[in-house]
Amino acid sequence: MDTENDSNTSSGMQYPALLMAEAYFLEQENVQLKEKLVRGEKALSFEGVKTYGSRLLYQYTGLPSAEHFMLLLRLLQRFDLNYHKGWIVRKLPLEDQLLCTLMKLRLNLASFDLAYRFKISVPTVHNIVIPIMYAIYVNKSSSEDSNL
């Protein structure tokens, strides 16, 4: 009977660090699974919009074709985007960040609406839209200056 009691005690008392580490990893797994559940619906993406053709892309962005969108994307890739406090957006590829920004400009959607559509947080929407708008503005200003 003592050996049974000793084995129960040793697994719980001698290895608290092991139990804490296991609890930590289970908590992390729980968070990841919850995120997967939230993102169960497919997020809006440029690839998804592109499959519907130019009409939907025009509705969302005002651009007449995917080629125009890709041209703007290539132009944007030249810039070093300065995200807020150095925070880099990793959840969305740059083309989806551009789509989100153009939808904000064209449709004037609320940030929570864009967050829902792209399956990201509201602060992430802000962190995407502001630097991309600034990069577009700087490029437009510099091209106007060179035409003078």
pLDDT in tens, 86-134: 788 888 999 999 999 999 999 999 999 999 999 999 999 999 999 999 8
Beta carbons of 114 and 127 less than 8 angstroms apart? no
Instruction: Show the domain range for 56.
Output: 46-146
In a domain, 94, yes or no: yes
In a domain, 5, yes or no: no
In a domain, 16, yes or no: no
- pTM for this entry: 0.68
In a domain, 35, yes or no: no
Domain count, the chain: 1
In a domain, 126, yes or no: yes
In a domain, 50, yes or no: yes
In a domain, 118, yes or no: yes
Q: Which range, 8-17, 30-39, 50-59, is most confident?
A: 50-59
In a domain, 22, yes or no: no
